[in-house]
């Protein structure tokens, strides 16, 4: 069906909108991103932490004029889902990290990433790795908003902030690096994983409400992946997924979906649930159907079962040749190919409402 068939309908609508002063189409003029390494486009390069990936072979398949084969601090061989989503909305193909000193308010006008690899909803999780907590990410976003107001004026800034899409993605580190890894840490006061999940969901709600208070009206809150199928968490001998971790992820996600429904029905904002779990689980269940050959091990390292960050480096001898065949780049993080699948699925199932 060609556009020509729709023109008789579109043109009167356009005229009506122009006459009424309303924007012709729902539009997303900017993308703002909060969370962990699933969405950090490079902020950790500019803070003092060991959680970094700004060295080869990270980024080796990034194919864009301004960054061919560059390690940008993305925890992948190429672009992240948020980069594909930005592009799908007609925004830049790489979401710039807010802390990059070469960025300024004019280069960040179509969006910025405030995420920090290693972060979680729990402050204690972000503290383990000395990375930006969600609240620090929010402080930076408020600083951004105030710079935007000075740069484009209050009215235009308000329009950008309310029409923009806000993507929030974290929680895996809270469980894997905090709750399960530090049995004597702060999270240990929650006897059951479900109690800790309830605490994290409370933080997620406060965070979403805080974004709303700064002007956010379009939110995409992302669930956890099947954590037990990350190469690091698979059974070291048999390779099977850890079903306990998967089940913890599913119950957290069920709680997040309830929260999303509640926030969305509140009327103050359009809020959608990002189904990362389904995207990854479908690929793991049917790799060939999505063009993958390997889903149990990462591309980088020796066995692909434990290396990431500094352990995945130029000296890693057995790093695979074609990361496009792998779902995971290192022991935890998706390849660009899997990020693309996740982004497409989100565009197809939920984010299209904002287009």
Ligand X SMILES: *[C@@H]1O[C@H](CO)[C@@H](O)[C@H](O)[C@H]1NC(C)=O
Q: Name the region of 59 (left: φ>0; alpha: ψ -120 to 50; beta: rest).
A: left
345 binds ligand X (CB under 6 A): yes
Q: Kindly state the tokens that stand for 349.
A: 């199932």
Catalytic residue among 37, 76, 116, 169: 37
User: How far is CA 132 from its chain centroid?
Assistant: 15
Q: Which residue's CB is nearer to ligand X, number 74 or number 339?
A: 339
Identified binder of ligand X from the candidate list 113, 332, 341, 351, rule CB under 6 A:
341
What is the three-class DSSP state of 297?
A: strand
Closer CB to ligand X, residue 337 or residue 345?
345
Minimum distance from residue 191 beta carbon to ligand X (Å): 18
Interface with ligand X includes 190 (CB under 6 A)? no
Q: Which residues contact 312 (CB under 8 A, 6 or more apart)?
A: 53, 57, 58, 298, 300, 301, 319, 330
Task: Give the separation between CA 83 and CA 86, rounded to whole angstroms.
Answer: 5
Q: Is the torsion defined by CA of 90, 166, 52, 104 positive or negative?
A: positive
Of 61, 174, 330, 339, the active-site residue reads 330
Active site residue 251: no
The yes or no reply on residue 348 touching ligand X (CB under 6 A) is yes
Examine residue 57 and say whether the peptide bond preceding it is cis (omega within 30 degrees of 0). yes
Comparing CB distances to ligand X, the nearer of 132 and 271 is 132
Among 101, 106, 155, 317, binds ligand X (CB under 6 A): 106
Q: Does the footprint of ligand X cover residue 344 (CB under 6 A)?
A: yes
Dmax over CA atoms of the chain, in Å, equals 67
Task: Report in angstroms how near the CB of residue 315 gets to ligand X at its nearest.
Answer: 34
Rounded CA-CA distance 175/28 in Å is 33
Window of 48-56, 98-106, 113-121, 262-270 that interacts with ligand X by CB under 6 A? 98-106
- Select from 77-85, 105-113, 210-218, 317-325 the region that touches ligand X (CB under 6 A): 105-113
The correct pick among 107, 150, 194, 303 for binding ligand X (CB under 6 A) is 107
- # residues near ligand X by CB under 6 A: 11
Q: Which stretch binds ligand X (CB under 6 A): 33-41, 100-108, 236-244, 263-271?
A: 100-108
Assess 123 for contact with ligand X (CB under 6 A): yes
CA distance 167 to 242: 28
Q: Are 35 and 95 a contacting pair, CB within 8 Å? A: no
The reply to whether 43 sits near ligand X by the rule CB under 6 A is: no
| Residue 198 is a binding residue for ligand X (CB under 6 A) | no
Based on the shown chain and the rule CB under 6 A, indicate whether residue 105 belongs to the binding site for ligand X: yes
Question: At 260, is the secondary structure helix, strand, or coil?
Answer: helix
Verify binding: residue 135, ligand X, rule CB under 6 A: yes
Is 162 designated active site?
no
Question: Which tokens in the block code for residue 65?
Answer: 């004029």
- Is there a catalytic annotation at residue 333? yes
Beta-strand pair 270-274/111-113: unpaired
Cβ atoms of residues 216 and 161 within 8 Å: yes
Binding residues (CB under 6 A) for ligand X: these are 104-107, 123, 133, 135, 341, 344-345, 348
- Residues belonging to the active site: 37, 330, 333
């Amino acid at each position: 069906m060609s556009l020509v068939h729709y023109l008789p309908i579109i043109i009167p609508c356009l005229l009506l909108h122009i006459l009424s002063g309303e924007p012709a189409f729902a539009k997303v003029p900017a993308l703002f991103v909060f969370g962990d390494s699933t969405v950090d486009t490079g902020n950790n390069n500019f803070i003092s932490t060991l959680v970094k990936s700004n060295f080869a072979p990270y980024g080796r398949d990034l194919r864009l004029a301004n960054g061919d084969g560059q390690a940008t601090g993305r925890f992948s061989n190429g672009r992240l889902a948020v980069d594909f989503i930005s592009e799908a909305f007609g925004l830049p193909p790489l979401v710039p990290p807010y802390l990059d000193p070469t960025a300024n308010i004019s280069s960040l006008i179509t969006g910025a990433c405030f995420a920090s690899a290693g972060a979680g909803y729990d402050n204690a999780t972000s503290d383990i790795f000395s990375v930006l907590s969600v609240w620090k990410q929010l402080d930076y976003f408020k600083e951004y908003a105030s710079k935007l107001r000075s740069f484009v004026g209050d009215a235009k800034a308000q329009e950008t902030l309310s029409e923009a899409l806000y993507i929030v993605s974290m929680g895996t580190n809270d469980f894997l690096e905090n709750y399960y890894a530090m049995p004597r840490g702060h999270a240990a006061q929650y006897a059951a994983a479900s109690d800790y999940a309830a605490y994290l969901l409370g933080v997620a709600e406060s965070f979403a409400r805080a974004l709303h208070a700064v002007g956010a009206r379009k939110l995409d809150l992302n669930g956890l992946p099947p954590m037990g199928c990350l190469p690091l968490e698979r059974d070291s001998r048999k390779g099977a997924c850890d079903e306990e971790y998967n089940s913890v992820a599913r119950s957290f996600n069920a709680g997040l979906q309830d929260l999303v429904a509640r926030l969305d029905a509140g009327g103050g904002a359009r809020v959608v649930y990002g189904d990362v779990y389904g995207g990854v689980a479908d690929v793991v269940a049917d790799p060939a159907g999505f063009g993958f050959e390997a889903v149990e091990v990462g591309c980088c390292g020796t066995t692909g079962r434990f290396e990431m960050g500094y352990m995945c480096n130029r000296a890693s001898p057995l790093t695979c040749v074609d990361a496009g065949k792998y779902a995971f780049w290192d022991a935890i993080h998706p390849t660009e190919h899997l990020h693309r699948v996740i982004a497409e699925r989100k565009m197809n199932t939920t984010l299209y409402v904002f287009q």
